[in-house]
Amino acid sequence: MKLIEFKRKYDFGHELVFCLLRRREWALFQLSLDFNDYGGWPYFQLSSGMGRAICFLLTIWRFGVSFDIAGYAWPDFCKINYDFDEEDCDLG
C-alpha cells in the first residue's frame, strides 16, 4: 500500500494524478487535473456505485477535474503512456 502517489501524463494534453492510500485495486482518494490540447463542450457528472463511493467529473472547454472517493484504483499510467521510463512504473 502506498500512502501518497503522484503521476504526470501527456496524452492529448497534460494530466496530473494524485492518489491517497492506494492499494493495487482500491484507493481512498484520487484526484486528476488535466489541461487538454483540444477544447470541448462543458460536461458535469456526479455518480455513485459501480466500484466507488462518490465520483465527480467536470470538464469546461480545455480544463478538467475529477476525483473519486473510496473507489476502484485508476489504471497504472505506465501501462498506457509509453513515454515513462521503467523506473517510473512501480506496480508493487
Any idea what the Cα angle at residue 38 is, between residues 32 and 44, rounded to 5°? 50
Which residues on adjacent β-strands are paired with residue 86? none
- Across the range 65-71, mean pLDDT stands at 91
Provide the residue ranges of all domains of the chain, joining segments of one domain with +: 2-88
User: The C-alpha cell of 68 is what?
Assistant: 473519486
What tens digit of pLDDT does each residue of 1-59 get? 778 888 888 878 898 988 888 877 788 999 999 999 998 899 999 999 887 889 999 99
Residue 77: pLDDT band with limits 50, 70, 90: very low
pTM: 0.69
Q: In the chain, which ranges are E strands?
A: 2-10, 13-22, 26-47, 52-72
pLDDT, mean of residues 68-92:
59
